Structure 1
Amino acid sequence: MTGAVRLTERPSERVDDGGGGKDGLLDGLLDDLGPGSDPAAALDLVRRRPDAFPLPGTGDTTQLWEALASLAAVSLTAARAVEPHLDALAILAEARAAGHQLVDVDDPGASWGVYAAEGPGTRLEAVADGGAFRLHGTKPWCSLAGSLTHALVTAWDGPTTRRLYAVRLGPSNGVTVHEAAWFARGLVAVPSGPVTFDGSAATPVGPAGWYLERPGFAWGGMGVAAIWYGGAVGVARRLLASRRAPDQVALMHLGAVEATLWAARATLSDAAKRVDDGLAQGAEGAALALRVRHVVSRAAEAVLQRVGHATGPAPLALEDDHAGRVADLQLYLRQEHAERDEAALGRLVLGQQPPSWW
């Protein structure tokens, strides 16, 4: 079972759509994706179909998240490759809108990563070199760095502050991609490992601290949740592919999965509207992102459990597609910080007035 993943119902567009409108756009996107799910093909799809991936916060956030969810329902590998590229484009657009002049960064043929993770024993520093900046050190968890052309990278520009930089990847700019010890059974085509920068020329993107403080940081986190939702839909579709007439237990699992996905979808739909209405800024945007990611990640975990209970071991052992979807989603969900994010949300609640619905 395939098809576009919806966050909102648009019956007027579903009637005699004729291949046009947003339904036709997303269905065409999935047709263009084809059976292959390698990262290069997914990134090429984004360059060929920019109409399907509008910038967040510009009035079409629902369409963007539906496109990400639709890709994820077909291939989490494709969605995982596309998401940071789109995030980088959104960050660069947000920087320009904020008045931060970018020099020699835009390249229509570029493929982007976003590397902001920190790790023990590693430190990437930015050093002023006349009027330019150069990066020195190692950055962990750099997904697909060996096959991308550019990246947005956070680096320490002082003892306690970090700044975002745009950097061209490759040996000619002093960038060395190390082989990743990637033993994961999920997202096997998206290895993530350390990258060393040895005097790599870099362009600042915004002032120190801007990367985390901008509204788009929360929006991007919710875009990832849309991918988790799409991945859960892809796993849930296995329940509809059973050739056996469902008994009462199977119907129970199917009903629970439907309700769980509906709640996640409603959460994302509401959040997309808030982003476009300017209601996801500052502390409220941060809290909204934590709520959305919590609801959607728990929904996806519940879907994984319910589908596993309903179908038993056979699909995991004998169906390559289903087993891959499960492994991909389990790994991708660990981008959410689980109980630590719950604690962060609790701190925000205590630091503000209690929510109006309490």
Structure 2
Amino acid sequence: MSKPAIAPLVLVDRRVDPDVARTIACTGYEAGRAASSPDTVGEALRVASEWGPNLPRPGGGRTAALWSVLATVGSVDLTVARVVEPHVDALAILAEAGLDSAVAPAGATWGVYAAEGPGLRLTAAHMGSRWILDGPKPWCSLANRVTHALVTAWVDDTTRGLFAVDLRASGVRPSAREGEWVSHGLPDVTSGGLELTRVRAVPVGGPGWYLERPGFAWGGVGVAAVWFGAAVALARRVGRHVADRPADQVAQLHIGQLDLALSTARQAVAAAAAVADRTADRTSGRAADAAPGDEAPGLVAARARSIVAESVETVLRVADHAMGPGPLATEAEHAQRVSDLRLYVRQHHAERDVANLGQQVLAAAGSGSPW
């Protein structure tokens, strides 16, 4: 991917200081250089390690700037974004737990592995002063490339804890349980299983803390910000297509559909960023100053993530309809972005996640009307 003629920039909230916008645009340039490297994953890991300590944390007052960085990187290249986002998320989790630099050496690169699979159970046992992990863990993206990971494991029959693990430890090995990674989307971001045998781990928060912590809601919106950025890039490609010929009413319809989808997604992410920054930082004891009428963070985050996912699917459909098969068949960058985004957005569990949102809406409303 060549360096763009203008700075790649996607803002989730356009009310941003120009200097901050220029800094965000610089991350787009860096992402482009990583994407054009012979080893995109390796260069993206280097960039993630370099950026990570300096990026804002969710809920720290500059959440919109953080998510604009992720959106901008997503607009440039989804492989780079798929490497950077979990590393940034892991650093935010460690910071929230008060373990910024206590569990890994400088230059460590991180994954976050919280998926579960049928019949697969990674357990954590407290042995003396140590925690030991044993068992399989599915869906461990880039486990062969990152140095460390935050991993969920069962501490008893009903509760999971979060643990920091050095993936270079002797008891960590690839699992033979899962098939070979054959995806056309994100082909370099391989995701397979791990087998852990008596692997020493560092607890991050107490049992259940990972899901209960204030920052859990915002991690999912960070992923959605990446999706949003990639959708903006697709819409910009449609815009160039339309500009090459007189815009008839059908072309105008397509642009209108894209605008509705992207504007709705941007507003949802910006609103979530504002709520995140009004939510108390419970780890430091700062008093909350949430605005009257603010909804629960989990509800706001679930709504924003679902809105972005639906907007992405709209953009994918409209781009196909607006441009036909030509770009998919003859433009490698466009075809790869479409494949990457189709796979990436499937981290959203579609109707199940929307049903979960509905459950939260009804619970919040109690006996009253949700609207």
Taking structure 1 as the reference length, what is the TM-score of the superposition?
0.91
1:58 pairs, out of 45, 51, 60, with 60
**Which secondary structure state, in structure 1, belongs to the residue aligned with residue 347 of structure 2?**
coil
* 1:102 Cα deviation after fit: 8.2
| Aligned CA-pair RMSD | 2.2
Cα shift readout 1:28-69 (whole Å, capped 9, x = no counterpart): 222222344222212212333347621111101000000000
* 1:353 Cα deviation after fit: 2.2
Contact 2:112 2:149 in 1 (8 A): yes
Question: Does 2:169 match 1:164?
Answer: no
Letter in structure 2 aligned against 1:273: A
* 1:228 Cα deviation after fit: 0.9
Question: Does 2:320 match 1:313?
Answer: no
Q: Distance in 1 between matches of 2:53 and 2:114?
A: 27
Q: Distance in 2 between matches of 1:270 and 1:210?
A: 25
Q: Distance in 1 between matches of 2:165 and 2:66?
A: 26
2:306 pairs, out of 294, 298, 302, with 294
Aligned to 2:41: 39
Letter in structure 2 aligned against 1:301: E
Aligned to 1:303: 315
Identify the range of structure 1 (56-65 vs 252-261) with the bigger mean alpha-carbon deviation.
252-261
Question: Does 2:362 match 1:350?
Answer: yes
| Structure 1 residues 256 and 235: CA distance shift in structure 2, 3 A | same
Letter in structure 2 aligned against 1:236: A
Aligned to 2:286: none
Contact 2:32 2:77 in 1 (8 A): no
The residue correspondences of 1:1-358 to structure 2 (distance < 5 A) are 3-10=8-15, 13-14=17-18, 21-37=19-35, 38-50=40-52, 53-96=55-98, 104-170=102-168, 172-178=169-175, 181-242=180-241, 243-278=244-279, 279=290, 284-353=296-365, 358=371
* 1:107 Cα deviation after fit: 2.4
Aligned positions, number? 345
Q: Distance in 1 between matches of 2:27 and 2:365?
A: 43
Q: Distance in 1 between matches of 2:54 and 2:10?
A: 13
Q: Distance in 1 between matches of 2:370 and 2:362?
A: 15
**Which secondary structure state, in structure 1, belongs to the residue aligned with residue 97 of structure 2?**
helix
Taking structure 2 as the reference length, what is the TM-score of the superposition?
0.88
* 1:297 Cα deviation after fit: 0.5
Aligned to 1:18: none
Contact 2:52 2:87 in 1 (8 A): no
Contact 1:150 1:169 in 2 (8 A): yes
**Which secondary structure state, in structure 2, belongs to the residue aligned with residue 145 of structure 1?**
coil
Contact 1:7 1:269 in 2 (8 A): yes
Q: Distance in 1 between matches of 2:295 and 2:273?
A: 17
Q: Distance in 1 between matches of 2:302 and 2:272?
A: 11
Contact 2:49 2:109 in 1 (8 A): no
Q: Distance in 2 between matches of 1:50 and 1:128?
A: 31
Unaligned runs of 5+ in 2: 280-289
Identity over aligned pairs, percent: 46
Q: Distance in 2 between matches of 1:131 and 1:225?
A: 39
